[in-house]
Structure 1
Amino acid sequence: MITNEDQLKALMVAGLGGDASAHSALLGALVPLLHSFYRRRMRGAEEDIEDLVQETLIAIHTRRASYDRDRPFTAWFYGVARHQLADHFRRRKVHVPLEDVETILAAEGFEDATSARMDVDRLLDTLSPKQARAIRDTHVDGKSIAEAAEAAGIGESDVKVSVHRGLKSLAGRIRGSRA
């Protein structure tokens, strides 16, 4: 079974290059990883796991062009899986806090957590200190809006606006624009 970063990334890159058998092998190798990922997060909801696995494989297939070959594949892959899980919970109106990338990668046995953490820090350093702190506090450190506002000495709506504007700016940078 293929489970390490180098092998998965090689299959992804080959698939992006037009190798259909590599793409098929990649999707097949991701199935047990996805089952494990979702099983740990959805105890008691076994009927939803298979649907999530299939939805995630479709998302990986349809969004594969967004993968940056210079970045770790597993960070991208687990990001897609995490977003699928968040969408699943959102559809069912269940509130769950975002996990930070380092925890996901470490739990899955990949050692690129430090690299992912450095990427997050590098991205946050491109924002104003206020936006970076608001995002770090709420999305990385898991503080509530109220806790982040109190720690920064600003209002809750200011934290919300800073997070929103900061994430919008980061999304633009990641897409290559300077929004």
Structure 2
Amino acid sequence: MKANEDELRRLMISGLDGNAADHATLLRHLVPLLRGFYRRRANGSEDDIEDLVQETLIAVHTRRATYDRDRVFTAWLFAVARYKMIDHFRRNRRLQPIEGLEEILIVEGFEDASDARLDIDDLLETLPAKQARMIRATRIEGFSIADAAAADGIGESDVKISVHRGLKTLMARFQGGGR
């Protein structure tokens, strides 16, 4: 069974309320999600991926009290997973670009990503309009560079530059160097 946001959130809340069977079911459902998350991002061996999955499951279990029941569960889960991945890279003194900002914020296949969508909208509003439009078109809506350029009436190189500059500005903000 592929669990969706509603089912995972229900299992998490039930587990928080003391239902050990639902908590165990939740952890079992998280294994394939986390494997996929790490395979797409970690570029490591299967052993590394399994280690990351286990570390994340332990973190979900030990930090479950930090989950806000009114928020999207998968956003919380993948934030925990992202931190575990970063810790893993630091331990191994490995530099690895973390691409797919929108995939981290909006989990593919989950219908209820309204909170994450609002966060992305807020972030994009801080950018110049063209940069925000091009990031939204190419990185969130999935348009090709050529399609985004044609829809906006600009050149493909202008799309690439706008996306690059916009993402660079956002990353600088996340790393504490931006406004």
| Shorter-chain TM band | 0.5 to 0.7
Q: How far has the Cα of 1:15 moved from its partner?
A: 0.4
CA deviations 1:24-78 (Å, max 9, x no partner) are 1100110111111111223352220111110000000011000000000010011
Aligned residues: 141
In the alignment, structure 2 segments of 5+ residues that lack a partner are: 127-165
Report the secondary structure of 1:109's partner residue.
Answer: coil
In structure 1, C-alpha distance between the alignment counterparts of 2:167 and 2:124, rounded to whole Å: 16
SS of the residue 1:68 aligns to: coil
Query: Within 5 A, what are the aligned runs for 1:1-179?
Result: 1-99=1-99, 102-106=102-106, 108-119=108-119, 141-143=166-168
SS in 2 for 1:25: helix
Matched residue SS, 2:55: helix
Distance change in 2, residues 1:118/1:107 (3 Å): closer
Q: Given the two structures, how large is their TM-score scaled by the length of structure 2?
A: 0.65
TM-score (structure 1 length as normaliser): 0.65
Relative contact order (C-alpha < 8 Å, sep 6+): which is higher?
2
Residues 54-105 of structure 1 show CA distances to partners (whole Å, capped at 9, x for unaligned) of: 0000000011000000000010011111111111111112223445653225
Q: Which deviates more from structure 2 when the two are superposed, residues 116-125 or residues 4-13?
A: 116-125
> How has the CA–CA distance of structure 1 residues 35 and 162 changed in structure 2, closer, same or farther, with 3 Å as cutoff?
closer
RMSD of aligned alpha carbons = 3.3
- 2:167 counterpart SS class: coil
Structure 1 counterpart of 2:53, one-letter code? V
How far, CA to CA, are the matches of 1:64 and 1:48 in structure 2? 24
The letter of the residue matching 1:32 is P
Please list every run of 5 or more consecutive structure 1 residues that lacks an aligned counterpart in the other structure. Answer: 130-140, 150-158, 167-179
Identity %: 56
In 1, Cα distance between the equivalents of 2:33 and 2:176? 36
Q: Is the 8 A contact 2:15 2:21 kept in 1?
A: yes
- Maintained 8 Å contact 1:8/1:73: yes
